[in-house]
């Protein structure tokens, strides 16, 4: 198995883990969904600035 395949499998596993986390959060309610987490983080000054910075960085990193 090449390193490329290993790397791509890693990204896929992480993506599936994210989707699983969201499904578990919606079904059980034991942890916050991604949307709830964002809302909670936006209520703190550091979290709010970090989220907007992460969004801005995505724009300049991939597009700018």
Partner 1 sequence: MTQRPSVDAPGSNNSMMRRLVSVLRDPVAWILVIAGIVEMISGGTAARGAVLFAAAGLILADRVRLSRGKPVSPLAATTLQEALAPHWWPLLLVAVGVAVALLREHTLPLTVITGSIGIALVGWAWLTGPGGDTAAPSPGRSLLWWGGLFLALGLWELTALLGQPTLAVYSAEHPTISFLIEPILATFPGRAVAVGLWAVAGRSLVRRA
Measured CA to CA in angstroms, residue 22 lies from 17, 46, 48 at distances of: 9, 24, 21
DSSP, residue by residue, 30-46: SS--HHHHHHHHHTSHH
Total residues contacting partner 1 (rule CB under 8 A)? Answer: 44
Residue choice 1, 27, 28, 59 for contact with partner 1 (CB under 8 A): 59
Answer yes or no whether residue 1 interacts with partner 1 by CB under 8 A.
Answer: no
- Per-residue x/- marks for partner 1, 19-38, CB under 8 A? --x---x----xxx-x-xxx
Answer yes or no whether residue 50 interacts with partner 1 by CB under 8 A.
Answer: yes
């Amino acid at each position: 198995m090449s390193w490329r395949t290993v790397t791509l499998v890693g990204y896929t596993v992480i993506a599936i883990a994210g989707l699983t986390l969201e499904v578990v959060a919606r079904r059980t309610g034991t942890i916050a969904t991604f949307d709830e987490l964002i809302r909670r983080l936006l209520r703190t000054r550091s979290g709010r600035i970090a989220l907007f910075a992460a969004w801005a960085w995505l724009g300049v990193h991939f597009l700018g």
